[in-house]
A and B are shown apart, each in its own frame.
Chain A
C-alpha cells in the first residue's frame, strides 16, 4: 500500500459508487470499490487494508449490518474505521448496533464527504 490514504467504497449502485470513487481519486485518495458487503469482505480477507471504509447499508447479498458484524468478528480487520453512508434516518439504537465511526446521510455534498473522510483516523 502506498502512503496515500486509501478508502474502500462499498455501494451497490454502480454509478454512485464510481462517482464517489472518482471524486475521491481526484481528491488524491487511493480508492477500491465493492458492490456489496460480501465482495468487500472478500477484498479485506484477501489482504486489502484501507484506512477508511465508506459503507452503504441497503445492499444485496450482504448488507451493511451483515458486513459490520462479520468485520467486527474478524480481529484482523475489526479496527478499520467505517463511515456509514446511508439514505435513511438511523435511530440511535440502530446506529449503536452498527458501531460506526461516523454517519453520513445521503444526499451529501462532496465537501461534506471529504471533510468527514479527512476527520476519520485509523484506529479511532
Chain B
C-alpha cells in the first residue's frame, strides 16, 4: 500500500453491487479499507479506519439510512461522502444537501464517472480544508493584531532587523505621540534622547537582545513633542521558522509617574537629611539648593522674610556655575520690586503658589517675574517656572522659586505638589532653627545671669569674710577669751567660706561655659599641694567618719594654676567624703611619662555604669539631690580645669564597692594658654 493510494470505504447493502464496486475501485487505483452494509456499521468502521472518502448508498436497510449515517459521521470526523443513489427524487436530494455531500453518483455509473466523482470530491475536500486552515490562521492573526492594537498601556511594535519600525499599536501612539503613518519605516533611535544616542545605546540594545535572547532597560525616552518619559523597555529578537532574524519585538511601558514618585521621595529624603544636618539655617538652605539644582530645577532662588517683614535672598543656584552670580543678582532685584503684584513678592504676599508650565517668550516671562527687561532671562534661560510659599504653622516665611531654563522638561501639577512639600520641609527646618536660636539665646542669657549673679554675690561675701576676720582679730587684741563667742564666730566664718565656695563654683561654671578660663601658671610642688588640700579637708572627713590616707611624697614639680589644681583635688576628695559611706579614703600620687597622677579612691556607694558618663556634666549627680546636697558641679569643674591644663579626669567604679577618680596633669602645660582679659562686667 503506497501512501499516494487513497483509502476508500463502501457503504452498500446489496452485496453484489458492493463487491463489484470494490473491484472497480481497486482496478482504477484506490484501496478499499472497509465495505459495510449498514449505517451503524459505517459509523463504527469509519472511526476505526479513518478513510479518505466514503461511498455511501442512500437507501440502506436498518435503523439509519445513508443520509442519516453521513449526518452522524459529519459531526464526528472530517471525511468527504459521495452518495450513491438509484433514484433522485426531490425530497431525497434536499435531505442529502443538508449533509453537505461532496458528490452524487446516480446508478448505474461507469468507471469514468466513478473516478471523476471521487477525484472531484477528494479535491474539493482538500481545498475546503486548506481554505479553512488559512481562514483560521488569518482570523488568529487578526485577533492578535486587534488585541495588540487596543493595548493602551504598552507600546508594542515590531522593528525590522535593522531597527526600522514595522508595526505600531495604540499604546505606542499614546505613549510616544506618533501616529502609525508618521513612524512606520523610521529608525527606532528616534525614541532615544541625544545623550543615549551619543552613547550608542539603541544599537547596544539590539546587540544585547540578539546575544542574550532579550534586552531589558529603563531610561528616559523621547516623545514626538520632545518631552521625555521614563520608559521600561523589553526588546526580543523575532526569528522565523528557519532561525533567520525576522526583526525585533519591542514592548515599552511608561513609568514616568512611578519614577517621579520614587525620585521625589528620594529627593525629599536627601533634602530632609540636608535640612536636619545643620542647625545653621543659611548653610542648610544652600545645601538644599545644591540638591534642587540640577535635579529638579535648572536654577532656583530661596528668599526668606527678614525682621522687617520683607523678603531677602538666602540662596541662589544655577546649573551653569558661570551664570550663578547673574541668577543671584536677578533674584535680589526681584524681591526689591515695589509692589506685590508679580513674582516672589506676590507669592509671599498671597501665600498662593504659582505655576507656569510653559513660557513661550521671555517678555512674558519677565512680566511674570516682575522684571522690567527680559535681558537677564536670555542668559539664564526660562522655559517653565513655579514659585511656592515656604510656610509653617500658617505663617509664610519665604518663597522658593524653581525654574527650568529650556525645553522640554516643563513643570506640571505633580511638580508643584512636590515643590510645596519641599517648601513645607524647609519651613519646618526654619522653625527648628528659630527654636534653636531662641534656646541658644536663653542659654546665653542664663550663663550671663549666672556670671553676673556670682560676681555680685562675691563682693559682699568678701566684705563679710573680711569683717569676720577683723572681728576675730579685734577679740584677740582686746584679750577677750569667750569660748561661746569664739565658737559662734568660727561657725560664721566657716559658713561664709562654704558660701564663698558655692559662689566660686557657680562663677567657675559660668567661666567654663563661656570658654573664659584663664590659667595663672606658676611653678608648684604638687605633692605639697595635695597634702595641704587633704589637711584642710581632714575635719570634714573626720565628721563623715572616713579616714583620709594620703600618700604624696614630693616634691613633684611642675607648672600649674595653683587655685585650679587645688580645686580639682579638693573637689575629688570632697566628693569621696560625701559618697564614701564613712569608709577609708585613699589619696595617692605618682609621676609617669611627664604627667602627674593623683588618685582618690573611696569604698562607698559607687556609681552605676549608666551614670558614669553623666557625672562629669553640669549639675549632674549619680544619686538623688535629696540625700546628697551641693550643686553637682564639683566633678564638672574638676574635669574642665584638668582639661584646661591639657589633662584629664577619669573614673572607675563598682556600685556598692566604691569609686576611684584619677586626675592626670602634664608636668608642663603643652602650650601656655595666654588670653586677653576675658571676664564679664564689673563686680
Contacts and interface: CB of A to CB of B under 8 A. Distances in A.
Interface string A31-58: 0000000000000000000000000001
Nearest to A22: B470
Measured as residues with beta carbon below 8 angstroms from the partner, the interface class of chain B is 20 to 34
Contacts of B678: 91
Nearest to B477: A26
Interface in A74-93: 87-93
Given A89-B518, A90-B520, A58 B681 contact: yes
A16 B682 contact: no
Contact of A19 (B455, B463, B563, B674): B463
B676 interface: yes
Given A58-B683, A90-B677, A110 B458 contact: no
A107 B461 CA distance: 9
B682 A12 contact: yes
Consensus secondary structure, chain B interface: helix
Nearest to B672: A92
Contacts of B683: 58, 87
Interface in B654-683: 674-679, 681-683
B466 interface: yes
A19 B682 contact: no
Nearest to A114: B473
B467 interface: yes
A124 B95 CA distance: 155
Contact of A26 (B470, B674, B676, B679): B470
Nearest to A58: B682
Contacts of A19: 463, 466-467, 470
Nearest to B497: A107
A16 B458 CA distance: 11
A58 B474 CA distance: 30
Contacts of B473: 23, 26, 110
Instruction: Output the residue of A16, A58, A89, A105 with the most chain B CB within 10 A.
Output: A89
A91 B677 contact: yes
B641 to A, nearest CB: 12
A1 to B, nearest CB: 25
Interface string A96-114: 0000000001111110000
Contacts of B679: 88-89
B295 interface: no
B354 to A, nearest CB: 59
A20 interface: yes
A110 B518 contact: no
A87 B458 CA distance: 9
Contacts of A91: 518, 674-678
B470 A110 contact: yes
B470 A13 contact: no
B314 interface: no
Contacts of A60: 682
Interface string B616-643: 0000000000000000000000000000
B391 to A, nearest CB: 49
Nearest to B466: A19
A109 B469 contact: yes
B460 interface: yes
Contacts of B466: 16, 19-20, 23, 108, 110
B459 interface: yes
Nearest to A15: B463
B462 interface: yes
A94 interface: yes
A120 interface: no
Contacts of B520: 89-90
Contacts of A13: 459, 463
B463 A93 contact: no
Interface string A52-76: 0000001110000000000000000
A38 to B, nearest CB: 15
A94 B677 CA distance: 7
Contact of A92 (B455, B674, B681): B674
B465 interface: yes
Nearest to A59: B682
B500 interface: yes
Nearest to B519: A89
Contacts of B470: 19, 22-23, 26, 110
Given A90-B677, A91-B675, 11 more contacts: A15-B463, A16-B460, A16-B463, A20-B466, A22-B470, A23-B473, A88-B679, A89-B517, A89-B520, A92-B674, A110-B470
27 contacts: A12-B682, A13-B463, A16-B459, A16-B463, A22-B470, A23-B469, A23-B470, A26-B470, A58-B682, A58-B683, A87-B455, A87-B459, A87-B683, A88-B677, A89-B519, A89-B520, A90-B677, A91-B676, A91-B677, A92-B674, A94-B677, A105-B563, A106-B458, A108-B466, A109-B465, A110-B469, A110-B470
Interface of A: 12-13, 15-16, 19-20, 22-23, 26, 58-60, 87-94, 105-110
Interface of B: 455, 458-463, 465-467, 469-470, 473-474, 477, 500, 517-520, 563, 674-679, 681-683
- For the complex of A and B, the 8 pairs showing the least CB-CB separation, nearest first, are A58-B682, A89-B518, A110-B469, A107-B462, A88-B679, A15-B463, A16-B463, A19-B466
